[in-house]
Structure 1
């Protein structure tokens, strides 16, 4: 059983990552932290609570950072909609509510009480992790591994050179990528290989279950926004980090040092690879078994309410 803390800025593909983590028997979700990112914190909190309620998952949900370390807050609403989770409609929650306290403090507490037993999956800006590292310098020795969706070593998706999560808080990303914990990174170069076709989406519409219904409604919005921008089929970024927990052998990686541009110029947030030393490398995902990934999605949704 892989124990995990999820750090999310819940938009459309984050919702899929949450469903995947909640539905797979190989994963135990210890806590979820909703942070600023795709939309403002107040919206990512509501979106996270609604998805975890739909999934029937009673794990605690905490509030994370409401702004980046240095830069002004940026959002990704053009793909995720005004709410960050446009598409599904949610009723009044009965199971889930926001926990009191600070998600970053809770992350540190859980890692101290369970050294080397819990992984962190971060699929939003890395603000929460950077603050945790500054508060607790021993965190890299306490966490089992940190799995991140972010960065690009080719073309960005928010500027010509920068990927959104890294661009949303470059200073935080730089802190995390140099922290000397075991780091696994899923950049756009890998995640862009996994797309949702209209044919596959139509199959989910035909399947039963409230979680599958919400998943399909989220993907309808995602599909429409990709079509509006004429950039092909929706790319399923964030869930790949959760899938990695189940079977790392399905993912090919290379060890490199990752540098983040924090100069504030046109390359602000750009990630570049450098040769890795003995203790400053990041395992960068390059390819994965795509049919295997979709089999996990199918199995997780089938197991959920």
Structure 2
């Protein structure tokens, strides 16, 4: 059984991913670190608690970072909103699933360090949101690297972006944190937006995959709301990308991804139009590779793996 810590700004798609992973017999979900991003840290914690309560699983939810690492130093990054005209970005700001509840009093970063350092087995980290908490964890306790099996980063984009012409939300929200993580010695697999865009899913695809199980029904509650939000701005007719679901499925069956290729991956945090851009050295100019990256997946395989994951 794979031991997993999930870090996310828990909104609708991430909530669906948590529902599926929490009920899987192949995954030992040790805890959820809920931080700010598309929603506030308080809303993210409430969303994670809401879905875990419905699964009946006693899995701790820890509140993570309240903001990006240096966001308060730059007034232009406070109260972030997508650039005008980027409807897809606006729809990513999803409403909370439930009212804020009492969260564990322990800091998510400290909990991650304690859990990783005490674990007799290596742990996989699934990063479904900004990388702030992992970056802080690395700065506080670099020795955690020896206790991590793999870091799965759902974020970045090569030809596909969402929050700007150059950037994907998870990296753009805290590019300094992303730069710290990409520069670390941790074994990293990156699932960029391109991967999810190669297998757009319609509501009927997800209904087919998820309607036959309790976990799947819980996941569909969140995903149906996500489809409704996209329909309200005339998006999603040809299907929607689900990178977070793809990340969850990857833990269950890594073969769901197309070829994973070692690349050098860096992040632009210098400002300007390329701010938050994920830079993939696809020409392989440099040989100091720091990540495995996949740019594709098979829709048929993804739907089948979702069905198997939902069945537990």
Same fold (TM over 0.5): yes
Distance 2:208 2:274 in 1: 41
Identify which of 71, 74, 78 aligns with 2:90: 78
- Helix, strand or coil: the match of 1:43? helix
Q: CA deviation at 1:92?
A: 11
Q: Deviations over 1:233-262 (max 9, x none)?
A: 221111222222223233221100111000
- Helix, strand or coil: the match of 1:288? coil
Which residue of the partner structure matches residue 226 of structure 1? 230
Which residue of the partner structure matches residue 245 of structure 2? 239
Structure 2: which 5+ runs fail to align?
72-76, 83-88
Alignment of 1:123-142 (within 5 A): 123-142=128-147
Contact 1:260 1:270 in 2 (8 A): yes
Distance 1:60 1:244 in 2: 22
- Helix, strand or coil: the match of 2:264? strand
State yes or no: 1:37 paired with 2:37.
Answer: yes
Distance 2:246 2:204 in 1: 21
- Helix, strand or coil: the match of 1:296? helix
Stretch moving more, 58-67 or 293-302: 293-302
Distance 1:79 1:290 in 2: 23
Contact 1:188 1:237 in 2 (8 A): yes
- Helix, strand or coil: the match of 1:32? strand
State yes or no: 1:294 paired with 2:303.
Answer: yes
Stretch moving more, 115-124 or 256-265: 115-124
Which residue of the partner structure matches residue 21 of structure 1? 21
Structure 1: which 5+ runs fail to align?
none
Distance 2:119 2:306 in 1: 28
Distance 1:206 1:177 in 2: 37
Distance 2:199 2:17 in 1: 14
Contact 1:123 1:150 in 2 (8 A): yes
Which residue of the partner structure matches residue 127 of structure 2? 122
State yes or no: 1:102 paired with 2:102.
Answer: no
Q: Deviation above 6 Å: which 4+ runs of structure 1?
A: none
Identify which of 249, 253, 256 aligns with 2:255: 249
Stretch moving more, 21-30 or 241-250: 241-250
Q: CA deviation at 1:91?
A: 9.2
TM-score by length of 1: 0.87
TM-score by length of 2: 0.85
Quickly say closer, same or farther: Cα 1:75–1:26, change in 2 above 3 A: farther
Stretch moving more, 281-290 or 159-168: 281-290
Contact 1:260 1:269 in 2 (8 A): yes
Which residue of the partner structure matches residue 154 of structure 1? 159
- CA RMSD for the aligned pairs? 2.5
Quickly say closer, same or farther: Cα 1:101–1:198, change in 2 above 3 A: closer
Distance 1:47 1:136 in 2: 28
